[in-house]
Amino acid sequence: MDRIQIPATPRSPEVDFDFAAGRFRLAGESYPEDAAAFFGPLLQALRTYLAASSTDPIVFEVALVYFNSSSAKGLMNLFMPLEDAAEAGRSVTIRWLHAEGDETIAEAGEDFASDFTHARFDLVETAQTGH
Amino acid sequence: MTSDPGGKVASPAVGSPPRKRSLRGGGPLSGDEFRELAGFADASASAPGTMRPGALRGSAQGRDLDSLAHTLFLRIYPVIAIVVLATQIGIAWVNYTDSLRLYTERANLLVTLTAHSIARPDWSERPDVYTAQIQALTLDPAFQFVRAWNAAGGLVMSVGEIPAGRGLELIRASSTVTAAGRAESAGRLTLGLSTEALRRNAEKQALLALGATLILMLAFVLTLHANVRKHVLAPLKRLLLAMREVEHKRWSLVEFDGAVRASNEIDVISSAFNRMVEGLRAGDEAKQLLAELEQAHAKLADANNQVMESIGYARRIQTSVLPDRAALAGAGIDVAVLWEPLHQVGGDYFWLERLDDLSIVVVADCTGHGVPGAFITLIVATALDRLLHERGLRSPAEILTALDEMVRVQLRQDGRGAESDDGLDCGVCIWDPAARRLSFAGAGLALTSITEAGLTRIRGARHGLGYPRHGSTRFTTEDIILDVAPGDTFYLMTDGLTDQMAPPGAQRRLLGHRGVSDILVRSRDEELRRQISILEAELVAYRGLESRRDDMTLVAFRPIRPTSPDAAEDNR
């Protein structure tokens, strides 16, 4: 599958879905006017990728500093097939990055983490940046 | 040269004396003036100051331009021809008179010398003395005749004929034969020389002059024509064609390649013309762009006005669905509300109502903001109304469970193929003043309290309401019962309040619950409305130039201290 790379905009995150390497990444802010339209194609691509039988490990990295509730829903939709794949025996790691002391994002990560039982969900605290 | 006073191609500089202007520095000429001066009379437009499309067509076809060469020829050629001819004739005349003088002098010299050489007292009696001398005169190429007379006037010798009737072509010279030492004449000698050679020579010169003038004329015509065509007519024609294009707003420039070399003046004019065209084009493009922009802007403004009017109307509807902020006045509870949609209307909703002495406080954050969010709030408002009034639910957890069901039915999220992926976060508080107890249930929306013990955040259920789910798992949660001490304050807020992004450059992160909590704790002793004002100001300060991300709603409430100390004691 072709790699999906979308540069960040003020309202949507940077997207890098490297299917060949099994690495996925979302970074930045996410509050698009129509979150379904933004996340829909990504979900479609992820599902297609997962449907192709392969056992390559998957690392999905999320480094968002803000996302609205619609985007949270979009993320949830992306995570569900990943959890299903993990249940089917595939190695799936979610890396949830949040800046040190950014409670909001850390808390959101914890919320998401509780939805996973088969996939590995890592809460990764990063050094403060932007000072 | 004095002919053709109204010449068509009179120079613009001198062709309009009353105007007293020249091309250089005389100020701009209007289109009509230029055409008139340039002789393009047929190109004049009907309306002054504007150009009739195609007005330059005739000129561009070269009709007027050809007359330029013609006029130049007519005006310059006669002068040159007359000057050349006159010069030639002058030179020929001088030559002729000089030769004539030389002939005369020669004749005089010859006849004098001969007379001297034969002068003896008895010369006429001795032919051996004079015959050879006089015969020698015939050796002159122009010799015509010679006559010798003795002292008595008798003809001694005659050689050659005196031509009849052509006296003009004859030079006569006479000399007396005077013997040395004697005063009286001993005879006379007359010599006639022909000037026929001289005449022939003059005729030849005249013919040459005429021929030279003719050749000059031919050469002049050819050179003039070629040069005027190359340096003036062809460049002018290009200029006119370009003007014609420009007239139709096709911005073409004049360029001269190898075959056409403009004269300096035309080159300068062409450069000026090109600059003018560039200017016109830029101006025209700018004008066009500006017009398009203005049009687009007007359309946009119009569309925006319509949308804003429509949203303004929607806001009136949404605010009319919201409760009176004083709905709980007299219910023994202080309430302050901040309801601030991001765009006039929004997905945040709150409800305040006093039912059977119970005070009900609901805050909901529906997915999306703006008009889509507002739609969901209407569904929530309707559902809540039915739950409270028709079904009489008084337990926050039950209300949330029922609300979840109703919203999902309403959005058809309970079956397959749901189009809507929407839902809401919701927090419900019910204050029982008699028991001085607050029951709370939350679905993705926490209750924040500030008590003597400090700030607490009670999160309730993590998931929101609505949204299509796998299977048919129902939303369930439990009521959380809180005993309320006097002065305890409670806050239900949507995440738009905590989701304040710091501006770029600073630490790029959300203010978060902790940030908001810190502000609330700092201002805990303030009256509620005042506290909300402080909070608002702090939020503005935190986000700086960064825009808000979401609708924000905060309902703060503080049960009023019971009037009777006993009652307060009972409920501790």
| Contact flag B509-A99 (C-beta cutoff 8 Å) | yes
Amino acid letter at B47?
A: A
Of B532, B376, B542, B382, the C-alpha closest to B466 is B376
Residue A58, phi then psi, degrees to nearest 5:
-120, 135
Q: Report in angstroms the alpha-carbon separations of B152 from A36, B43, B369.
A: 154, 94, 156
Angle B512-522/B528-543 helices, nearest 10 degrees? Answer: 140
Task: State in Å, rounded, how far the first CA of chain A is from the last one.
Answer: 39
Q: What is the ipTM of this complex?
A: 0.80
Instruction: Give me the long-range contacts of B216-222 (CB less than 8 A, separation at least 24).
Output: B216/B80, B216/B81, B216/B84, B217/B77, B217/B81, B220/B76, B220/B77, B220/B80, B221/B73, B221/B77
Question: For residues B349 and B46, what is the distance between their CA atoms, to the nearest angstrom?
Answer: 71
Query: What are the CB-based long-range contacts (under 8 Å, 24+) for A68-71?
Result: A68/A30, A68/A31, A68/A35, A68/B499, A68/B549, A68/B550, A69/B365, A69/B367, A69/B425, A69/B464, A69/B495, A70/A31, A70/A32, A70/A35, A70/A36, A70/B367, A70/B368, A71/A30, A71/A31, A71/A32, A71/A35, A71/A38, A71/A39
Taking contacts as CB-CB distances below 8 angstroms, the residues of chain A near B506 are: 130
pLDDT per residue as tens, chain B (572 positions): 444 444 444 344 443 444 444 444 444 444 444 444 444 444 433 444 444 445 455 454 555 556 666 787 788 878 888 888 888 888 888 888 898 899 899 899 988 988 888 887 778 888 887 888 888 888 888 888 888 888 888 888 888 888 776 566 788 888 888 877 777 788 888 888 888 888 888 888 888 888 888 888 888 888 888 888 888 888 888 888 888 888 888 888 888 777 677 778 888 888 898 898 898 888 888 998 899 999 999 999 999 999 999 999 999 999 999 999 888 888 888 999 999 998 889 999 999 999 988 999 999 999 877 888 899 999 999 999 999 999 999 999 999 999 999 988 888 887 666 677 788 999 999 999 989 999 999 999 999 999 999 999 999 888 888 887 655 678 889 999 999 998 899 999 998 999 898 887 767 788 888 899 999 999 999 999 999 999 999 999 998 888 888 899 999 999 887 765 444 444 44
Half-sphere exposure of B263 (CA within 13 A, CB side): 12
Tokens in use for B534?
A: 């402080």
Closest C-alpha among B116, B103, B63 to residue B202:
B103
**A120 in Cβ contact with A94 (< 8 Å):** yes
CA distance A118 to A92: 8
Asked if the Cβ–Cβ distance from B510 to A31 is below 8 Å, we say no
> Using CA atoms, how far apart are residues A77 and A73, in angstroms rounded to an integer?
6
Q: Which two tokens stand for residue A43?
A: 């979900």
Q: What does the pLDDT read at residue B130?
A: 84
Rounded-to-integer distance, Cα B535 and Cα B517, Å: 10
Instruction: Give the model's pLDDT for residue B252.
Output: 84
3-state secondary structure B49-100: CCCCCCCCHHHHCCHHHHHHHHHHHHHHHHHHHHHHHHHHHHHHHHHHHHHH
Q: Tens of pLDDT along A51-94? A: 886 788 999 999 999 998 888 888 999 999 999 999 988 899 99
The chain A residue lying nearest B496, using CA atoms, is: A68
Contact assessment for residue B554 and residue B532, using Cβ atoms and an 8 Å cutoff: yes
Beta bridge partners of B443: B426, B461
Q: What single letter denotes the amino acid at residue B104? A: T
- What is the per-residue pLDDT for B61? 52
Residue B398: is it exposed, middle or buried by C-beta count within 10 angstroms (0-12/13-18/19+)? middle
Contact A69 B509 (CB under 8 A): no
- Chain A positions touching B507 (Cβ under 8 A) are 99, 128-131
A73 and B498 within 8 Å at the Cβ level: the answer is no
Q: What residue spans of B322-395 are helical by DSSP H?
A: 370-385
The beta-carbon neighbor of B513 closest among A29, A103, A129 is: A103
**Contact criterion met (CB below 8 Å) for A39 and A1:** no
- Please state, in angstroms and rounded to a whole number, the distance separating the CA atoms of residues B512 and A101: 10
State the Cα–Cα distance between residues B364 and B350, nearest whole angstrom: 6
Taking CB atoms and an 8 Å limit, are B462 and A104 in contact across chains? no
Residues of A in contact with B421 (CB under 8 A): 36, 73, 77
How far does A31 lie from chain B, in Å, by closest CA? 8
Q: Residue A104: its chain B contacts at CB < 8 A?
A: 498-499, 509-510, 512-513
Point out the residue among A36, A68, A128 whose CB comes nearest to the CB of B549: A68
Q: Give the pLDDT of residue B234.
A: 83
At residue B17, the pLDDT reads 43
**How much is the pLDDT for B166?**
58
Residues in chain B closer than 8 A to A73 (CB atoms): 367, 421, 423, 467
Burial of B445 (0-12, 13-18, 19+ CB in 10 A): buried
For chain A, how are helix, strand and coil distributed in percent, rounded to 5?
35, 30, 35
- The alpha carbon of residue B522 is apart from the nearest alpha carbon of chain A, in Å, by 19
C-alpha distances in angstroms, B468 versus A41, B412, B549?
19, 9, 25
* Contact check, Cβ <8 Å, B550/A130: no
Q: Per the CB < 8 Å rule, is A65 touching B509?
A: yes
Length of chain B: 572
**Confidence bin at A14 (pLDDT 50/70/90):** very high
Find the CB nearest A69 among B495, B507, B510: B495
Q: Do B501 and A66 touch (CB under 8 A)?
A: yes
| pLDDT given at position B323 | 93
The pLDDT > 90 percentage for chain A reads 49
> Which pLDDT does position B506 carry in this prediction?
61
- Whole-angstrom distance, CA of residue B247 vs CA of residue B239: 12
Q: Tell me the torsion sign for CA atoms A111, A112, A115, A121.
A: negative
Phi, psi of B463, rounded to the nearest 5 degrees:
-80, 150
Could you count the other beta carbons within 10 Å of the beta carbon of residue B107? 25
Query: From B462, which residue of chain A is nearest by alpha-carbon distance?
Result: A111
